[in-house]
Structure 1
Amino acid sequence: MAINNEGQQQNQNQQLIGHKDLAHKTLLQSDALYQYILDTSVHPREHPCLKELREMTEKHPRNLMATPADEGQLLSMLIKLINAKNTLEIGVFTGYSLLSTALALPSDGKILALDVSREYYELGLPIIEKAGVAHKIDFREGPALPLLDQLLQDENNKGIFDFVFVDADKDNYLNYHKRVIDLVKIGGLIGYDNTLWSGSVVAPPDAPLMDYVKHYRPHVIALNKYLAQDSRIEICQLPVGDGITLCRRTT
C-alpha cells in the first residue's frame, strides 16, 4: 500500500520523538486537541491545590517528571471507582499524582509514598498540607526495592494495597512488578506510567532519540512484553500522558 506524503511526514516526525521541546506530556499529535481536553474537561475540574502544585512544578527544571493533569484526573477516577483506601506510590517528585490520589481517597485512606528524594517531595508538601490531606501520606525516603522487600518479609503485608502507582526509575520497573504483584490485593490495580516512552517503543533502531529516551527504552519494552504475558493480571494500556498501563490482579 502506498503511503501518501502526509503519512511519510508523520513517520519522520515520529522518528524524531524525544528531540521536540514538548510543552506537555502527551502522545496526541495535535497541540490544539490536547489543549481542548485540558480546557474542557481537566482544568475546570482541577482542585485549586492541584492547580497550584502543577503551576509551581512547571517552573522546576525537571518538570517533565511531573504527572500531567489529565493523568492525575484519571488516577482520581480510578481510586474512586474501586473504592480504594490503602495505596502505594513509587516515585513522587513534587507530588501531583500523590495529591490527586490523596484527594480522591476517603478521610481514613492511606498512601505509602516512596521516593529517593525528600527534597522534591518537600517542595510540594506545603500545598499538600494546604489541601488538608497530608495526614493520609506516609512518605519514606530511599530506594524503593529494599523498602518493598522489607514489606514482603511480613506475610500480613501481602495483598494489603488496593492501588499501586509506579512512576520511578524505568530500569527497575520489572523488579517493581515482581514485588508489588504480591502487595496488591486480588482485584486491585497497578498503574505503570510512561509505558509508551515518548512513542519510542515503536521507533526504529537508528531513530535519533534523546539519550535518556534511548537508555530506558529497552527496559520499557521489556516491561510491556512481560505484562502482556503475565497470567496473573488483566491489562489495559492507555495513550494518556506518556502512556499508562493498568493491571488488574486476578490471581
Structure 2
Amino acid sequence: MRIQVEVNEALQDYVASISLREPEVLKDLRAETSKLPLSLMQISPEQGQFLSLLVKSTGVKKALEIGVFTGYSLIATALALPEGGTVTALDISEEWTAIAREYAARAGVADRIDLRIGDARASLDALLAREGEAGSYDFVFIDADKENYWAYYEAALTLLRPGGLVVVDNVLWHGAVLDPSAQDSETVALRAFNAKVRDDDRVELSVLPVADGLTFALKR
C-alpha cells in the first residue's frame, strides 16, 4: 500500500514553520527576486536549505552549478562549503547574475564562487579541456535550459569523482511529463532525459517528487 501525503499550501507552510532556517541575506534575495517577471525560476527556500544540508553532510569541497539565475541556490551552496571550498557557476545572463554577485558579496562568499558567463555547453567544454578537472568535483546542481539537460548531465558525470553527486531540478515539470498533449521542446527533452537516467548504470539513482521533482544520481 502506497501512502502519500498531499502537500497543500497549508501543510507546506507548516513544514516551513518547523524546519526553515533561512539566512537573512537569502530572505532578502528571495524578496528581490519575487519582483522579477521570471521569479518562478527561483528555487524554494526549503529546497535551498536541503541543498545546503546535502553539501554539508556529504563533505563537498568542490561544486559546480549549471544555471544560476539570481543566485539563491548558488549562495546556499557557497554558504555550506567548508573553508577553502569553491563552487563554479555557469549562466548565460549578465543581468540576472549581477544580482547573484551582489548578494554573494553581501553573504561574504564571493571568494568561494567562480562565476562564468556564456553558453554553458561551451563553458563545460572549457572545464573538461583543463587538466585535472575531470573527476575532481564532489557535487553538481543542474537547473538550466531543459533541452540541454542530457549534455549537462554527461559533462557532470565526467567532472564528478566516483561517489560524487549530481542533483537535477524540474524533472517532473509541474506534471507536464505525464501529459501526452504536452509536446513543447522542454517537456519532450525532460521525458527523454528521465528515461535515459533511469537506464544509466553508471549511477545510483533516486527521483523524489518534491518541489518540481528532483533527480539524485550518485556516480559509481
CA distance in 2, matches of 1:100, 1:163: 13
In 1: Cα distance, 2:121 partner to 2:65 partner: 13
- How big is each residue's C-alpha offset from its partner over 1:16-59, in whole Å with a ceiling of 9 and x where there is no partner? xxxxxxxxxxxx651111111122212xx111111111111111
Return the letter of the residue paired with 1:86. Answer: K
- What does the per-residue CA deviation read over 1:79-131, in whole Å, with 9 as the maximum and x for residues that have no partner? 01110000000000000000100110012110100000121011232222111
Question: Is there any run of 5+ residues in structure 1 with no aligned partner, and where?
Answer: 1-27
Matches within 5 A, 1:1-251: 29-42=7-20, 45-203=21-179, 205-206=180-181, 214-250=184-220
**Superposed displacement of residue 178, structure 1:** 1.6
Report the RMSD for the aligned CA atoms in angstroms: 1.6
What is the identity, as a one-letter code, of the residue corresponding to 2:57? L
SS in 2 for 1:157: coil
Q: Calculate the TM-score normalised by the size of structure 2.
A: 0.94
Look at both structures and tell me which one has the larger radius of gyration over its CA atoms: 1
Pairwise CA distance, 1:155: 4.3
Identity %: 43
Aligned residues: 216
Distance 2:94 2:136 in 1: 25
Distance in 1, matches of 2:105 and 2:118, equals 22
Q: From the superposition, tell whether residues 132 and 242 of structure 1 become closer, same or farther in structure 2 (CA, over 3 Å).
A: same
Higher-RCO chain (CA-CA 8 Å, sequence separation at least 6) = 1
Give me the TM-score of the superposition, normalised by structure 1.
0.82
Q: What amino acid sits opposite 1:122 in the alignment?
A: A
Q: Which letter does structure 1 place at the counterpart of 2:185?
A: H
Measured in 2, the distance between the counterparts of 1:124 and 1:142 equals 15
Structure 2 counterpart SS, 1:112: strand
- Does the residue aligned with 1:164 lie in a helix, a strand or coil? strand
Structure 2 distance, partners of 1:80, 1:241, is: 21
Counterpart CA distance in 1 for 2:130 and 2:79 is 29
